[in-house]
Amino acid sequence: MDEPDNRTQESPAVCVRKVRRFEPQITKKKKVRTHSERYREAVRATHLIASEIADIEDEAEFESMLQFVMSQWRNVRQKKIAEYIEGDLKEALKTEDRHAFSDADVKREFEISSSDNEECCTGDAANSDAITEKNPPVSLVSIRLNPKARKVGAPKKAKKKIVAGERAERKWYEAAEEGRKKAGEVTLLAVVNSLDHVQPGLREVQSRLSGIIVKYGDAESRKPKLHMMKNPVLIQDPFYLLPTKLLEACIKILPVSNSKEDAITIDTSQTSQPTEEKTGKLVETIVIKDVGSFSRKQIETFRRVDNLKRISRERIEMLLFVVASHLLLLCFMLHSSFISDRGSISCLEQFLPPSANHYNLQDEQLRLLRIQILPDTDAENWSLSTKYVGSYSTSNTSEVDTRSGYLLNPGLNFIYAPQKSLLALLEHADALQTDVEMDTLLLPKTSRCFELRWFDQLPLWTLIRDGVVGYDTILVNQLVHHFGARGFLYKENSRVTIDMSYGVFNPASSARSWLRFVAMKFKILHTILFLFFVITALVAFVLLETQKRMITFAALFHNRQQVQNSFANLVMTFFAQSLVFVPVLVGMVFFLFELYKDRLLAFGVMTIMWVGESFSVISVRTRLSQAYFPPLFFCLFTLFHIYLFSFPFGFSYVALAAMCVLLLQLMLFFWNCFEIPALNRGEISRVCPREQLFLLFPL
């Protein structure tokens, strides 16, 4: 019988290699916090720190702790902590040995023994393993999994884009609320019904419809689909409009609303016909991807509001065009009645006595002519009276006027002098005793020289002449026809002196020969080109530089405000840099004053150029607007200056007003026909703020 084996079962000596096991450090993908969540966490931490600091009773300790917190906050904002960490890391890397690792170093690192030095696992080896498990050696190699690595498996499907409500999209919600306040109603249907019932004026209609915005401009090219649903989920009470192209597509796919059973009769009115709502039937629903679902009634309401807005814009443009046409017609009638040689009637030849028909003022004669315009006076009761300048005073003229039974308006008194130095004698007429004579001519308002050609009996002309046109331009042209382009006309009420010399452009001298006439026209065209391009270049330069400086100033101001540094020197620096444009603007203004010889006219021309160039730089973004607006603006500018330089004493203010209205009508036309549709279609956006003027074709 075999004896049991009492030997200890010992495992054979097995040589085991010690290998370093790498454990991957899996980085968990944290959920990205939103701005509101980060703000709540920051407020909670700030309140906690503030409550702890406020409990410090020692004033010195409180100040030191407060300064410490503020310094740490500044370091965080200026990213100094990150810089220090990077610097320490670089220093640590510099102190390391940069030599290449040998095989012995690798074996020592991973504790791998060669076949020659293999030892069996003994008790010492077990002890060393125990020590290694307690204090594992620090490894210089770390392995991390890339969280952005491509995941294995089928890709996840993108979530469907859900149409956000009005309250979710804050900007659209606020715009809709502002539009409701302007419209005075809550729904679009209520606005349209209110306008149809009240039928207000054009101004009120435009103001009430101005708050209704156009939404979903980027979805204009979408194709709507018609579905028949029993209980559709519709967007309730939308206070916006769909783009024009998308709205036209929705109208096109809708079938005819009436049938043989509910046909519309022509003999009766629409409101008197019975309308029965169809209940329990399918509802015609327009479904637009990423926009929403709309019923037929909502689409028809969109169309009605869109038609009202379009008609109101067209009416405003038509109103401006009618006003500009009437101003041009008025300018033509005034020119043919008082400036043209064929239509004008001379006041001086009509009211001077027969013996003085050849009355003429020479430059060497010391003689003044005073013209007073009186209401409802017969010319036969008045004659030309001659006095010395010493008898001219305010008291004397008032006594004569009162004795004559007329209260003169100082705005209707004018003095003509062949030399400007003679007008200086009028200020001290009582103290001086000179042999300068003054002839006083009284003219009635009913004179034929103040009547409008073809409309002499029109009551509106009296109102226009007394309140708009005035008598100064008419008298200047009468004096130019009688005495020639020389002398000065003085207005007693405004103390303004008009120089009656032509200056650079003299139509009288150019009419002597055709060569001078052609030379004058070339001079006028050259001046117009120079003025237009110089003024537009200066305005564009000032606008561009101002925009760049304001953007830079806003960025620097925001940066300093975050760092809590003083920004007084920043404001002073940019204010000093802005003063560079002052000499440019002042020089341009004085240049126009000298050219036009009329400050109000020069200021009006400069204002028009600023408005037109600003609109061209800021609002002209589409290709068609860039191609046609600047040439049309240049045509208006050219026509006005051709009239102004050809007739220096013409009715330039009426022509300037016509130019202003035409420019405004032109701006509204381009804005309504090109710019607004491009914005609604999404062709003009932050990504593409302006279209290219010239298309690039591939070769």
Please answer whether residues 226 and 253 qualify as being in contact, where contact means their C-beta atoms are separated by less than 8 angstroms: yes
Residues in Cβ contact with 438 at an 8 Å cutoff, skipping those fewer than 6 apart: 367, 368, 369, 370, 386, 387, 388, 389, 391, 392, 415
pLDDT tens digits, 89-135: 444 444 444 444 556 665 565 555 554 444 444 445 445 554 454 55
Q: Return the exposure string of 369-402: e unless at least 16 CB atoms fall within 10 Å of the residue's CB, then b.
A: bbbbbbeebeeeebebeeeebbebeeeebeeeee
Which of 535, 519, 521, 534 lies closest to 642 in space, CA to CA? 521
Spatial distance between the Cα atoms of 287 and 278, rounded to a whole number of angstroms: 21
Paired tokens of 362 = 């020479």
Please answer whether residues 429 and 392 qualify as being in contact, where contact means their C-beta atoms are separated by less than 8 angstroms: yes
Domain definitions of the chain by residue range? 39-91, 164-256+280-345, 352-450+471-501, 514-681
pLDDT of residue 689: 80
Residues in Cβ contact with 138 at an 8 Å cutoff, skipping those fewer than 6 apart: none
Spatial distance between the Cα atoms of 249 and 226, rounded to a whole number of angstroms: 11
> CA torsion sign, 347 to 348 to 352 to 357?
negative
Strand partners, 439: 369, 386
Spatial distance between the Cα atoms of 652 and 278, rounded to a whole number of angstroms: 66
Paired tokens of 431 = 């103290």
Please answer whether residues 684 and 678 qualify as being in contact, where contact means their C-beta atoms are separated by less than 8 angstroms: yes
Which of 348, 382, 346, 390 lies closest to 366 in space, CA to CA? 390
φ, ψ of residue 230 in degrees (nearest 5): -85, -45
Please answer whether residues 121 and 13 qualify as being in contact, where contact means their C-beta atoms are separated by less than 8 angstroms: yes
Paired tokens of 177 = 């609320």
Which positions of the chain have pLDDT values less than 50? Answer: 1-12, 81-100, 115-123, 125-126, 130-131, 133, 159-167, 354-358, 363-364, 378-380, 394-408, 697, 699
Model confidence pTM above 0.95:
no
3-state class of 55 per DSSP? coil
pLDDT tens digits, 592-642: 888 888 888 999 999 999 999 889 988 888 989 999 999 999 999 999 998
pLDDT of residue 629: 92
Paired tokens of 58 = 């020692």
Spatial distance between the Cα atoms of 13 and 122, rounded to a whole number of angstroms: 9
Spatial distance between the Cα atoms of 696 and 308, rounded to a whole number of angstroms: 39
Query: Environment class of residue 217 by beta-carbon count within 10 Å: exposed (0-12), middle (13-18) or buried (19+)?
Result: buried
Spatial distance between the Cα atoms of 400 and 370, rounded to a whole number of angstroms: 14
pLDDT of residue 144: 62
pLDDT of residue 430: 61
Spatial distance between the Cα atoms of 43 and 35, rounded to a whole number of angstroms: 12
